[in-house]
Structure 1
């Protein structure tokens, strides 16, 4: 893999590499990039992976190779402290409760000593803390060079360091946000680098679709209303009725969310709703009209105070943008775009987006010549890796598939119960829980159950808890949502006499090496939900082109997700374990062969007795060791 990356760098070509677990792909792309002497941009999927690259992998390699390299880490604005907004927060009465006041005091103490202003430095500060949006900036509320704290600004400093560095670490969201907004510093950076590397590239297309589109979120409106009130009272008290204006905006945001939710009383997790299911309702059109009126009212009020401070000029621009977005979503979508509504517990987001990142990526590839490298453990289930290369517009790229060095035939087993309820049958989730309980008893915990829906997550979690309580097994049940993800994983590794039940976010990026995790159960084949608006639009496009959407889209997506979920099991050369897919279709249907082939070459077990014997054998070997 390292040689293929070195060739791509030397020839300024595009390379796509699928590298199985244990290949060491991070070092395989970093070594040739560092030795080439060229400037490199490295993009990964999450902020925590960015930190790992920047704080651990890059420094170790630079020392080992003896190359003096200037490195920089660049994140989105929301990751950095905004000194202007922090100074304003103390007097603006925006803090929701006493805990937020204490968090602000802690941030103010830290602000005296930090060099980077990156919130990741603050141990124990939850990234979901309500204080962070109050003391960080967004593209909407940043004052730019008119800000009184511009010279000390952490975002400006991070961008300046990135422009001077040899290696810059960013994330996919930042890369695409910049493509559309030219706001994060990547746009100036990209033409000047010789190598662009995308790790965890399987997440690239989803990140792109989110950011290349246009969106209007009710939480953006609430933030705007809060800023309007705070700044109005602090800098122009008595000149306008700021409280009434805030109330008007918040009412418009609430009405829009209610119109999006429709008859749904309670929303858990994130739902994607079809645009046509909501847009035709009278309440929806009037909510957008009300929002446009509220934005106009705010614009009128701000016109009288705009000369007082650059803050008001920025507020005016934001109000104008909300009015334009409300009118855009009231009209028909642009051709070739798909619209949907993201609905969560606290907000609704209207989205209009392209179906894939093809056009955007081709535009980048045709710009200044450089080497492009895309890599992940899962990028497709065919030789061309077309699941990834086609929607990313990389049809002409060189493709390399590097298998895992782990001994799967010896160390891992796959069990698909044939005599098992189908996922559509009412007792399916209960039977998954019963089988998971039998596996956990054989191992003494050490199991993951990965579910495809949040409903199954709760049902299985409750059933497991009841089963272990009745049996007096002393096995804990950890369920996603009960605590932050990192804390749940820490609990699982601290006391492996546990079963962890997780949904989407636990299918990938989770690393539990060694004996702590020896069995992974997947509740059913992870086909994309056919009612998802993006899925519907992609299927429609394939069918219009005379292609088989089930084979080319649904099975390909399921194969990728299975590889990701199953990949949690074997993380080191000595790991051993059992993968259970509780869906008889994988054994009985003709497409099952393709899905089984997508997994690493594990030994296959036909009966539950064999599966339990294998787990008992693993437990004995562990106890002997």
Structure 2
């Protein structure tokens, strides 16, 4: 199996070395933990106190193992500065927050000292794709270069692994939605015969949103544990055993916080035994934590429960209860809750976040919430009658009681220091209660046992103390390091802020963005991203841009987010250089397009947080209660980090060149514009559109063959 195309490319360009390191090594044989289950993990020799820094300096040296493994490797001062800071934090068991600009090579800057230190390490990443990249590519090659016999393991959440018991149930289910689902299930069954890991990422082209996946994976609620007939062959438990036997384990942020909240991911067993916890892409840590440290009740949860109830009831206790009627009652209650929560909203595209107060006082909403608990009461009673017949019924009964209790909990006022809201989409509704930040939860973990904690990303703030990240994470006393990018932005990049442009709140702003984007794309010959801050702007610009290009007589391809899955959309952009890709939030980060395939990034407006978002409102109220300026301390700080992320798509290697366009006159004219410009890499400004298009024309000409 070839390694999957990562969601995040290496933050080190090929010039950093190790890109083609050990090209003969087979990616088909990932370095999973190989000890028998339950085998003792032999201790590795740890670096003697005070010697880790010297070992790191030697590894990154011009005559070191990294240079020997790749003739293109060149030592970088910024990378070495970060690596030695990480080494010091590991030796001191300290907390380090390190911002490393694009091109520093932060991945190797933390991996090399972590591997050389000799202790056990937990590495957490933002996405499963980045997990796979670290585990399948970076770590095996780096371990080979350093000649270290390190045991590696990959640990994901339950939903990433095939559940053999639920696969058997799905095989006999009468509720598969359509023929496509039947074909997908058959494909999974064939793959299941040969997989060792059970990781569904091995199945190329299987979309994470495929409706069959919940049918063949487990959740905390429906897992039978030791009562499962497939327990000894369980892929989830195998992955956890391998993690406990490994020297370095790669997890993701969602898994880390899911375990903190539910104690169900295996991290709870793992964390006390590690000497260091390292969080890459740490700028996503706070939102991942907020999502998992709260409570949710979703109409989809209840519908999934109803479908499991129907399938298991008909398979294992047909005739002993009115399973179709009970399942239909629960599903109907879930749909009524969704309708009551949505209210007058119709034809939704995407997800709308509503204030709790907008719906909670309405009689129909209160009645629908009570209706969920009422529909689950007879279900729980019927399950109690057959509970001893099968562990599946025991888990179903527990799920019924938990869902009913959660519905009752949302009928009560929220806990102090928490905020509630309602997420409504075309087919689902979620009731959410969450903390405002991860400060308390993370501090509990850090105080629990002495170990090193390292948090790193290319964007963690705009000041030396990196307060955008450290404050909500409760890391006020952490060591902080800012290492700038080694790229020559002044020579290779230009920043254009069009003056006299419509303001973002004016109705003609999206059309003006489309018009300007078309002219720039024509000058460059495609190779453009247009990044929007809202889905509404995405649709408006995506519809207008083809018309503008046609009017200019240029047959450039326009790709719009949502037309096809994200990875497929990016593949099309790379395959056809004469393209313009219009994307929203998911394209602002985690996208790596080095070289001349992408040479212009247009941002429609400054990415301020939406002021009517319930979580934003709650955070603003807290800041104002503390006597602080919410606009300066929250809105501008958030916009600075997001703008930096979006701009980071442009220059991905030392040789990249391009133009960043921000179609928001506030960046040039408002008093806070200077602060936002200072957050960006030091790109040379251009005065007007003529100068901007001249720069693009020069880039286009330089691509022509000699």
Structure 2 length normalisation: TM-score?
0.88
Q: CA deviation at 1:345?
A: 2.0
Report the secondary structure of 1:521's partner residue: strand
- Is 1:475 paired with 2:556? yes
- Distance in 1 separating the partners of 2:345 and 2:192: 43
Look up the match of 1:51: 132
Q: Is 2:384 the partner of 1:342?
A: no
Given the alignment, which residue of 479, 488, 507 partners 1:398? Answer: 479
Partners of 1:506 and 1:260 lie apart in 2 by 30
Cα distance in 2 for partners of 1:344, 1:472 equals: 39
Post-superposition Cα deviations, 1:425-447, rounded to whole Å, max 9, x if no partner, equal 11000000000000000000010
Aligned to 2:599: 518
> Which residue is equivalent to 2:231?
150
Give secondary structure in 1 for the equivalent of 2:386: coil
Q: Aligned pair 1:427/2:531, yes or no?
A: no
Aligned residue in 2 for 1:499: 580
2:675 maps to which of 591, 594, 607: 594
| 1:62 matches 2:143 | yes
> What is the 5 A alignment of 1:223-622?
223-622=304-703
Q: 1:624 Cα deviation (Å)? A: 4.3
Residue in 2 aligned with 1:103?
184
Alpha-carbon distance in 2 for matches of 1:538, 1:484: 33
Of 464-473 and 244-253, the range deviating more from structure 2: 464-473
Distance in 1 (CA, whole Å) between partners of 2:346 and 2:585 is: 23
Return the offset for 1:304: 1.1
Distance 1:602 1:588 in 2: 18
Shift of 1:123: 1.2
Aligned-partner Cα distance in 1 for 2:603–2:187: 42
Q: Distance in 1 between matches of 2:490 and 2:496?
A: 13
Distance 1:12 1:303 in 2: 51
C-alpha distance in 2 between matches for 1:394 and 1:141:
37
Secondary structure of residue in 2 paired with 1:356 = coil
Q: What secondary structure sits across from 1:578 in the alignment?
A: strand
CA distance in 1, matches of 2:379, 2:510: 51
Do residues 76 (structure 1) and 76 (structure 2) align?
Answer: no
Please list the CA deviations of residues 174-213 of structure 1 after superposition, one character each: whole Å capped at 9, or x if unmatched.
0000001100000010000001000000000000000000
Q: Give the C-alpha shift of residue 346 in structure 1.
A: 1.7
Which segments of 5 or more consecutive residues in structure 1 lack a partner in the other structure?
none
Task: Determine the C-alpha separation between the residues in 2 that align with 1:546 and 1:522.
Answer: 33
Query: What do you get for the CA RMSD once the two structures are aligned?
Result: 0.7
Q: Partners in 1 of 2:255 and 2:430 — Cα distance?
A: 19
* CA-to-aligned-CA distance 1:480-507 (integer Å, 9 cap, x gap): 0000010111100111100000000000
Aligned to 1:26: 107
Q: Which one is further off, 539-548 or 120-129?
A: 120-129
CA-CA distance at 1:276 after TM superposition = 0.5
Residue in 2 that maps onto 1:92: 173
Distance 1:384 1:204 in 2: 17
1:299-352 superposed Cα distances (whole Å, 9 cap, x missing partner): 111111111101000000000001100110001001111101112222111111
Alpha-carbon distance between aligned partners in 1 of 2:175 and 2:131, rounded to the nearest angstrom: 31
- Rounded Cα–Cα distance in structure 2 between residues aligned with 1:508 and 1:10: 32
2: CA distance, partners of 1:146 / 1:177: 23
C-alpha distance in 2, partners of 1:462/1:120? Answer: 34
How far did residue 122 of structure 1 move? 0.8
- 1:111-143 CA distance string (max 9 Å, x none): 111000000011121221111100000101000
- Residue 238 of structure 2: SS of its match in structure 1? helix
Alpha-carbon distance in structure 1 between the residues aligned to 2:545 and 2:434: 40
Give the 3-state SS of the residue equivalent to 1:390 in structure 2. Answer: helix
Aligned counterpart for 1:135 among listed residues 192, 216, 219:
216
Structure 1: distance between partners of 2:553 and 2:180: 39
1:518-555 deviation digits (Å, cap 9, x = unpaired): 00000000000000000000000000000000000000
Further displaced range: 548-557 or 92-101: 92-101
Per the alignment, residue 257 of structure 2 pairs with: 176
CA distance in 2, matches of 1:260, 1:381: 39
Other structure's SS at 1:304 match: helix
Residue range with higher mean Cα deviation, 104-113 or 176-185: 104-113
Quote how far apart the aligned CAs of 1:470 are. 3.3
- TM-score w.r.t. the length of structure 1 is 0.99
Per-residue deviation, 1:92: 1.5
Counterpart CA distance in 1 for 2:171 and 2:165 is: 11
Q: 1:94: how far off?
A: 2.1
Which of the numbers 203, 213, 226 marks the counterpart of 2:284?
Answer: 203
Deviation at 1:424, TM superposition (A): 0.7
Distance (Å, rounded) in 1 between the aligned partners of 2:562 and 2:586: 11
State the distance in 2 between where 1:270 and 1:406 align.
38
> Equivalent residue of 2:456, what SS?
strand
Q: Indicate the SS of the match to 1:399.
A: strand
Distance in 2 (alpha carbons) for counterparts of 1:514 and 1:621? 12
